[in-house]
Amino acid sequence: MRTHARMAASFDSDRHTPPVSAQDACDYVSLGRAFIMNRPPRPSSVPWLAGLLLAGLVVVVAFLARQRIQAILFDLTGEERLVSQFKGLTDLSADFLRPRLDLAPNVSVQHADVNPFGVNVFLNEEAEPTKRELTVKLAAEAGFHWLRQEFPWQDIEIHGKGDFEDRRNPPARSAWEKYDGIVALAEQHGMELIVRVSTPPSWSRVKGDAVGTFAPPDNYADFGDFVYTLVSRYRGRIRYYQLWNEPNIYPEWGNYPISPEQYTDLLKIGATRAREADPTVVIICGALASTIALQPAAAPPNNALNDLLFLQRMYDAGAAPYFDIMAMQGYGLWSAPTDRRMHPRVMNYGRPQFVRDLMVANGDAAKPIWISEMGWNAVPDDIPDKRFGQVSLEQQARYAVLAYERARKEWPWAGVINTWYFKRATDEWFRQARPEAYFRLADPDFTLQPVYHSLKAYITQAIH
């Protein structure tokens, strides 16, 4: 259209052109028509602009889609990086070839419909009562309802059987004094205790600590007597007792070969004596550590046994009547709590489903699973030990919230989930460059970490 208009204007305005004959005019018209019909079109800016706009739109859509795709893949694989997410998808595809887990989601489960928010504390290590009080106060302010606290046997029945006086540092005083104070603090702040009973005194073993500080006593009846005394003292004030911790790995069973059968014997005696002292007591099984190790009789520190095999052998040994709640650890290690890959030899936050499936298969579907320790390790780059995985402080804060959210929405058979951990009394782990130091919610000087604040915001919203 533009070419035709320009040519017409040229002919009409050229007033100085000499007159032409009719034939010449026809020839000119013919030449003009031929020129118009055969001339290549003049380049226009409109198609180029449209192309650029379209390309830009494609880039924007691709970017937005990539973010959305990555978010979806994160919810499936628990991985943040796109390459790792696609690797995770291949792992997920393999899950379809494995037998489906029976989680019995519609079975009524006792001790599952409880406040799920708990935190591990080390109040017994705080030398100053004011620091114990501040720890409990901050935990309560964050919204935690449960304090998982060890009452170490060696710190209460210290010098010999039936001897509950602490004479390690003068003046001598009752070994119960500190623990009476811990119980009172929990009550003062409206919190409940999950008391972990472990760590026998050296006098309970002929070889003392040479067989391991955490090794079981030579005579399991001594353990039963201590449990009876402990539960009797706090009858009506403490209801939940966890008998032992991680009996399937070193060093929690000392230098001895790992034995589900022997732990079951210890559990039977402890549970029986606890129920004698208080019929309303609730017994929590010693928390099993997630591991693929198959070397129960190896030399320390390699003596360990897969948690699923350990639990099945416990059932075979008759453990079921002697615990009311199953317990396990819930570390996410290298992936987020949204990781849905299920492989028995892969450790991730979804592992409790394997334990649940095994419990259902053994007729224990009415019991819940409580997670004794849950967390992600924000170990710095300059510490070489990365055995607990590595996340940033931001990821640690975000993952802890997602862990509670997943369990609350998807696992009706899960009860309390105890964050690992609030704080230690000293900076010893930091000085030793131990990665365990970087699970904390607060530093020894009470500097609060991002994960404390994220959990406080989430729990406050969840309980209101």
Q: So where are the chain's domains?
A: 45-97, 107-462
Per the CB < 8 A criterion, the answer to whether 256 and 266 are in contact is no
Residue 325 corresponds to which tokens in the numbers above?
Answer: 């709640």
Residue 58 corresponds to which tokens in the numbers above?
Answer: 């494609």
Per the CB < 8 A criterion, the answer to whether 330 and 371 are in contact is yes
CA distance 178 to 184: 10
The DSSP output letter for 442 is B
Closest alpha carbon to 371 in 454, 307, 435: 307
The DSSP bridge partners found for residue 117 are 417
* E strand or H helix at 268: helix 260-277
In sequence order, which residues have a C-beta less than 8 Å from that of residue 27 and are 6 or more positions away?
none
What does the pLDDT profile of the chain (464 residues) look like in tens digits? 543 333 333 333 333 334 444 444 344 334 344 433 444 444 445 566 666 666 666 555 556 677 788 888 899 899 989 888 888 888 888 888 888 999 999 999 999 999 999 999 999 999 999 999 999 999 999 999 999 999 999 999 999 999 999 999 999 999 999 999 999 999 999 999 999 999 999 999 999 999 999 999 999 999 999 999 999 999 999 999 999 999 999 999 999 999 999 999 999 999 999 999 999 999 999 999 999 999 999 999 999 999 999 999 999 999 999 999 999 999 999 999 999 999 888 899 999 999 999 999 999 999 999 999 999 999 999 999 999 999 999 999 999 999 999 999 999 999 999 999 999 999 999 999 999 999 999 999 999 999 999 999 999 999 87
Per the CB < 8 A criterion, the answer to whether 217 and 198 are in contact is no
In sequence order, which residues have a C-beta less than 8 Å from that of residue 133 and are 6 or more positions away?
185
Residue 413 corresponds to which tokens in the numbers above?
Answer: 């058979």
Residue 333 corresponds to which tokens in the numbers above?
Answer: 């290690």
Q: What is the pLDDT at residue 441?
A: 98
Residue 377 corresponds to which tokens in the numbers above?
Answer: 């390790």
Q: What is the pLDDT at residue 22?
A: 41
Looking at the chain, how many residues does it have? 464
CA distance 439 to 461: 23
Q: What is the pLDDT at residue 50?
A: 65
* E strand or H helix at 64: helix 45-77
107-462 CATH, one of 2.40.50.140, 3.40.50.2300, 3.60.130.10, 3.20.20.80: 3.20.20.80
Judged on CB neighbours under 10 Å (0-12, 13-18, 19+), 463 is exposed
The DSSP bridge partners found for residue 196 are 150, 242
Closest alpha carbon to 194 in 129, 268, 278, 120: 120
Burial 236-259 (b: 16+ CB within 10 A, else e): eebbbbbbbbbbbbbebbbbbebb
CA distance 338 to 345: 18
Task: State how far the alpha carbon of 93 is from the alpha carbons of 96, 103, 158, in Å.
Answer: 6, 20, 55
In sequence order, which residues have a C-beta less than 8 Å from that of residue 83 and are 6 or more positions away?
none
Question: Beta strand pairing status for 304-305 and 294-295?
Answer: antiparallel
Task: State how far the alpha carbon of 231 is from the alpha carbons of 118, 240, 245, 369, in Å.
Answer: 21, 10, 18, 22
Asked whether the CA dihedral 315, 318, 322, 324 is positive or negative, the reply is positive
Give the CA angle between residues 316, 319, 325 to the nearest 5°.
130
Q: What is the pLDDT at residue 93?
A: 82
Cis bond upstream, residue 301 (ω within 30): yes
Burial 17-37 (b: 16+ CB within 10 A, else e): eeeeeeeeeeeeeeeeeeeee
Residue 202 corresponds to which tokens in the numbers above?
Answer: 């050296």
